[in-house]
Amino acid sequence: MSITEILFWFLSVLALVSAIMVLISKNPVHSVLWLIATFFAISGHYILLNAQFIAIVNLIVYAGAIMVLFLFVIMLMNLDAAIEPKRSLWMKFAGVISGGLLLAVLLSVVRTSVDLNNKTAKLNTGEIGLIKNLGNTLFTKYAVPFEISSVLFLSAMVGAVVIGKRN
């Protein structure tokens, strides 16, 4: 087992355990923290796949900005473990089972698929993850979506302000 494989397995286990802890934690703040751990694991995966830009952006935007926002809101509402309302047992059961079913279906497809037999994801190589190439493609081939995404941000900002206004 080369070091990349070891890293792959380690990061996968970390991601899965953190995700499950997000679900299980009673305290919302704990959930946020576990989610941040998940994001770190996933960024590790990105670096393994040599998608450097995406890894950094993931950390900065997701773990840095979005999770902080979540924390602000949780602190604002003073949520703690005591307030967490209880769901009925059968709903939890049903939820877990349906999720499990979905997973089973997806995995069975993957296992029986013929197309994927000889494909692999190349680790540690490749140039497409480099910021130079990504930037190039982004500003030439995908220039229009880029501009539109700026409009999207504007509308999101306006929307958030309007919704949050106190009349």
> Considering only residues 58-87, where is the footprint of another protein by CB under 8 A?
58, 61-62, 65-66, 69-70, 73-74, 76-77, 79, 83-87
DSSP H or E run through 141: none
> Considering only residues 113-152, where is the footprint of another protein by CB under 8 A?
116, 118-123, 126-129, 133-134, 137-138, 141-142, 145, 149, 152
Choose, by CB under 8 A, the member of 20, 75, 80, 147 that binds another protein: 20
For residue 1, state whether it binds another protein (rule: CB under 8 A).
Answer: no
Q: Which of 102, 106, 124, 131 is nearest to 116 (CA)?
A: 106
Residues 6+ apart with CB under 8 A from 144: none
| 38, two tokens | 């998940």
Shortest spacing between CB 137 and another protein, in angstroms: 5
Distance CA 134, CA 126 (A): 12
For residue 15, state whether it binds another protein (rule: CB under 8 A).
Answer: yes
